[in-house]
Amino acid sequence: MDPDNPVVRLCVQGMAAEAEGRADDARARFRQAWDVATDDYEKCVAAHYLARHQPTPEETLRWNQECWDRADAVGDDRVRGFYASLHVNMGSAYRALGDPTAAHRHFVRAAAHIGDVPPGAYADWTRFGIADGLCTTRGDGPLAVLLHRLCARGELRALGVILPPYLGDLGTAEDRERLVTALSMVHAARWLADDEQQALGAVISELMGVSR
């Protein structure tokens, strides 16, 4: 984004105020950015930040929808890298409204766009947001139940191996293979109680069946 663009400049000021804990000042800068925006691209940028400072989940969703609509109206490479985080925000808004089905759809769409985000810390954070969204909206399967149990008793060795690929799983074949490899390593190490070993074996078999 062009740092000399007045809308971008106001949003940068708003982010600085946000970082300093001045929420009202941040909201005012983002609102000003929206008011001075002159085209769909600038409106898209301003709406993204305005959505972060809304008093209700409904208003948060409305502004995220506004951001999405404006991005679609732009329709060129300037917004191509926006869609992953845009769908994360839409998914998060629907999750806050208690609609996990709609939320999950947006997290899946976000995963499909992660390749458009330039590599770096922002891409890593967006990827984590997608994986977290997919995990929290797909329901508690047997692996989630087992992980909750391992967390409750502080089984750090197994968790240290499993959690990185589990939390980074966006549903691709490569992600699934990494997860199965990690689970198989823990299973082979026999760190878990007998019933947990059996549960883990069943999860591995299920995942391998899905990946074939």
pTM for the full model? Answer: 0.74
What's the pLDDT score for residue 172? 83
Q: For 65-74, 107-116, 189-198, 203-212, which range has the lowest pLDDT when averaged over its residues? A: 203-212
Distance (Å, rounded) from C-alpha 183 to C-alpha 50?
Answer: 41
Q: For 1-5, 80-84, 201-205, which range has the lowest pLDDT when averaged over its residues? A: 1-5
DSSP string, 55-72: SSHHHHHHHHHHHHHHHH
Residue 212 pLDDT class (50, 70, 90 cuts): very low
- What mean pLDDT comes out for the span 62-69? 96
